[in-house]
Structure 1
Amino acid sequence: PPASWTDADVNVLLDLAIAHKASAGEGMNFKATFWNTASAALSNPARGGPKTARVCKEKWKRLRKMFKVIDCIKNTSGFAYSNELGANIGLENEAMWSDFVKKHKDVGPFRNRGWPHYEKMKQLMPSKGKGLN
């Protein structure tokens, strides 16, 4: 079966990444030894298949992409992102959100729902401080 990631699993991966941040360099590109360490730390999955070094690295790529999506929302004027409510879209900013989603397809899930891993990812990823439009 494919690997299945619980929030607890993701937290293990992110805590390891934070602990080994210096070894990743500015681009946050971890070496093979880190991915082997991550795989070993996650070697007893609660469900799903094994989290190999390759699977851990792929998950990291997806986490980085999600962080950039959230960062885009946070840095676009007119949206007040929170980890609890996401972009917190209501009647007053519905039209603006609809236009934003057309340009940034990945933001949809965060309309009114936050992302639990943002704060840890923020420790690892530089914020761009601008929208993507």
Structure 2
Amino acid sequence: MANIGDTERVVDLCREAFPASPFAQYTEFSPDMARTQFLNHLGSRSSLCLVYDVAGEAQGLFVGAAVDYPNAPLRIGIEIVKWISPKHRGAAWAKMVNWFEAWAVGNDCTLTNISDDGSLTKWCDRNGYEFAESNRVKRLF
């Protein structure tokens, strides 16, 4: 579990992850916003904040939230942000997702949702995640 002492390292991980975001082409990274969002999730009973610790330093991040679907009686555990520094990938991802899924069950969620830009498709298929929706964006100004 993450704690307030992880905040600045989490901001660093978010900065590291930002170029891989599909939204990076539309804006610039904001460390202040990343810090505020992390602290808001850290203080929320409906959120889960995990870090993957290697030798006392966070090398991975997973933030999830339990939300109610607006049109049906579903509570869904959604991934908000995920990132593992490239040299620490491997078992870390599965550990964080397993923790997220157990947390979601404990928060009365009947589904979990993980975003996939195509890099997780094989993992998702092997681990019971089904394709459910796709998003498209349009620049308005």
Where relative contact order (Cα < 8 A, 6+ residues apart) is larger, the structure is 1
Q: Which has the higher helix share?
A: 1
Give the TM-score of the pair, scaled to structure 1: 0.30
Give the TM-score of the pair, scaled to structure 2: 0.29
Q: Which has the higher strand share?
A: 2
When Rg is computed on C-alpha atoms for both structures, the one with the higher figure is: 1
